[in-house]
């Protein structure tokens, strides 16, 4: 791991423990984990090997002439999905659209 041995990693861990304290480490770890998860999700969204379903959703989103670029739209959607009420509304909207397609 970056040419660091176990001794160096232990020393770094002790220094971090002394700087931040034992009470703040779990919160820092949680925040770091959430950040890494978001970065991976954005990387998957930008990856050209998207599933057929995502490609179809992108085509529907880009049909509007006034719609922003797909990368901008993905970032906006990612930020909006962070808000609990918006996420819940989007899930309900997706379910309603699926039901409409099934009915037709």
Whole-structure pTM over 0.75, yes or no? no
Verify that 40 and 57 share a domain, yes or no.
Answer: no
Verify that 81 and 104 share a domain, yes or no.
Answer: yes
The pLDDT value recorded for residue 66 is: 47
Verify that 67 and 103 share a domain, yes or no.
Answer: yes
Report the SS3 class of residue 49.
Answer: coil
Close Cβ partners of 81 (under 8 Å, ≥ 6 residues apart) = 87, 90
**What is the C-alpha separation between 51 and 75, in angstroms, rounded?**
18
Verify that 7 and 56 share a domain, yes or no.
Answer: no
Residuewise pLDDT in 10s, the chain (104 residues): 468 888 988 898 889 889 888 888 888 888 888 888 888 888 887 765 555 455 555 555 555 444 556 777 777 777 777 776 777 777 788 888 888 888 87
Verify that 63 and 34 share a domain, yes or no.
Answer: no
Range of the domain at 74: 51-104
The pLDDT value recorded for residue 27 is: 87
Verify that 41 and 57 share a domain, yes or no.
Answer: no
Q: Is the Cα torsion angle 60, 61, 67, 71 positive or negative in sign? A: negative
Domain count, the chain: 2
Verify that 74 and 35 share a domain, yes or no.
Answer: no
């Amino acid at each position: 791991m970056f040419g660091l041995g176990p001794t160096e990693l232990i020393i770094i861990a002790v220094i971090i423990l002394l700087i931040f304290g034992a009470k703040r480490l779990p919160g820092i770890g949680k925040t770091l984990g959430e950040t890494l998860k978001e970065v991976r999700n954005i990387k998957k969204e930008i990856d050209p090997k998207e599933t057929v379903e995502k490609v179809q959703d992108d085509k529907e989103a880009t049909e509007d002439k006034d719609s922003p670029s797909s990368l901008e739209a993905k970032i906006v959607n990612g930020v909006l999905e962070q808000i609990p009420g918006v996420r819940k509304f989007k899930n309900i909207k997706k379910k309603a659209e699926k039901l409409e397609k099934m009915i037709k």
